[in-house]
Amino acid sequence: MSAAKASGASAGPGGAGDLSSQRALSGGLPRRLAAESPAILVIGDVMLDGWWSGTIERLCREAPAPVVDVTSREFAPGGAANTAMNLAALGARVSVAGIIGTDDAGATLRRKLEAAGIDLKHLHSHPDMVTTTKIRISSGGQVMLRIDDSATAVPAAALAALASSVRAAVGHQDAVLVCDYGTGVLAGPVRAALGEALRVAETGVGSVADRPLTVVDAHDPRPWAGLRPDLVTPNAQETARLLDLRLAEGNGRVETVTGHRDALLSSTGARAVVVTLDRDGTVLFAADGTTHRTWARPAAEKQASGAGDTFVAALTLARSAGLPLTASLDLAQAAADVVVHQPGTSVCSTAQLARHLESFADTALSADELVLQVSAHRAHGQRIVLTNGCFDVLHSGHTRYLNQAKQLGDVLVVALNSDDSVRRLKGPGRPINPGADRAAVIAALSCVDYVTIFDTPTASPLIRQIQPDIYAKGGDYTPEMLAETDAVEEYGGRVVILDYVAERSTTAVVQRIRDGAVANPGS
């Protein structure tokens, strides 16, 4: 699929992508994306990460500092180079544009990128450049020290060579991913050359419909606003600097960022902004009004680095291959969740991502198992939200509604109608997908904590057993219309009716599939 189509409205939230996203988080999706093999240029600050570990048994004589006897030395591409490694591991055809030195670190970095099959004809070496290196020294699983080595200035000749190279590199790419860590490699000449190559003037006026998908991952996205990027991905600290404010911890950060969505879109010049909030997942704001949350599945503190690189790589791959924006975001969150469980600077491969998503199969809990889990959460003061439905063919109305439900409390439980129950409700031709498949896809959504399947005419018996703090329902309902309302009110729970998305209907999607029709944007 061309990048123009991927970045256009037809692949956006609610567009034609709804037909392709019914299995958006199934284990087979990473393999299908890898088969697309989009061509992606990564331009930016390539680095070499070192992970040295050893034992500590004494203090040095010169100062009260521990002596680390190094037992292992490992090196991995870092920064923009790690992003490129992730893209290659996920099946993209990757080119890297950047500047390194002719030093040992540069030679090591070049060898590792070449071994991954990455095109390096736009990676320039200069004798007066120092390859940026970050060495972490650890003992007993704890990082004790990080040593950074980088150039104080980037040679003008190297900048000129990279700028010239960028003009040629952009052609025939499905996506261009800018990784700007602020070292000076992407200074004015290079940024201007990229703008010229993308046919976007520095004033932000003028572009062509078939330009590559443009993603900016920068410490400061504002200098890149003239490119009018399709996506920018600031983290919490970068967002705070953009907004000139302090972000509170926890969910307060989401509320603060959401209140400044217009300022973020305006200052970055982007069609969509994805703010990454580490343990709190991500939040998306698009110029068309779309919002979307993901929730991270964090690991215990480990020696992990580069989850943000994995996230932006998976997001760029999915969008350049034509996956809808919200589904791309959930996929990228899943890839980041894989990496945070791995030590060092690591990547998420197609096989790893597929296994991670496939692990959600057969994850539906019985009602008795669910009671035990919910009781543990309630003991920690967490609010339980429950919703139910068939969720036969997943579409953007579902994901929007489930995102809203999650934000009503701390733990979201989704109860699925059994296959027999769906047939009773929808007719003999349904469900399209059996209960195990529906449960696996719903469980893979980052906003969902638990899935269960019920076979009763209504969810009332399950509600009485679980006693959620909030029972959420999406659709054209009032609480009085719901059979479950009495069960909720018996124990003092609350019924919340979420947004009704009239133009999103599973029945309509199924009918379009059976008719062989292609959805129009917004249909």
Domain ranges of the chain: 3-46+79-128+153-349, 367-515
SS3 147: strand
Query: pLDDT band for position 195 (50/70/90)?
Result: very high
pLDDT at 120: 97
Q: With a cut of 50, say whether residue 44 has pLDDT above it.
A: yes
CA dist., res. 93 & res. 211, Å (int): 17
CA dist., res. 224 & res. 202, Å (int): 9
Higher-scoring residue by pLDDT: 159, 290 = 159
Query: pLDDT band for position 164 (50/70/90)?
Result: very high
Query: pLDDT band for position 125 (50/70/90)?
Result: very high
Tokens representing residue 349 in the block: 């491969």
Domain 3-46+79-128+153-349: which CATH class? alpha beta
* DSSP string for 289-310: S-EEEE---PPSS-SEE-HHHH
Element (H, E) at 273: strand 272-276
CA dist., res. 478 & res. 505, Å (int): 19
Distances (CA, A) of 87 to 39, 120, 172, 255, 347: 10, 14, 17, 32, 9
- 309 annotated active-site: yes
Considering just the CA atoms, what is the radius of gyration of the chain in Å?
24
Q: With a cut of 60, say whether residue 274 has pLDDT above it.
A: yes
Over residues 48-86, the pLDDT tens digits come to 999 999 999 999 988 888 999 999 999 999 999 999 999
Over residues 58-67, the pLDDT tens digits come to 999 888 889 9
Residues 6+ apart with CB under 8 A from 318: 33, 327, 328, 331, 332
Check 49, 217, 309, 392 and give the catalytic one.
309
Query: pLDDT band for position 400 (50/70/90)?
Result: confident
pLDDT at 403: 87
Calculate mean pLDDT across residues 468-497: 89
In terms of CATH architecture, what is 367-515? Answer: 3-Layer(aba) Sandwich (3.40)
| pTM across the whole model | 0.77
Tokens representing residue 3 in the block: 């990048």
* Residue 418 DSSP code: P
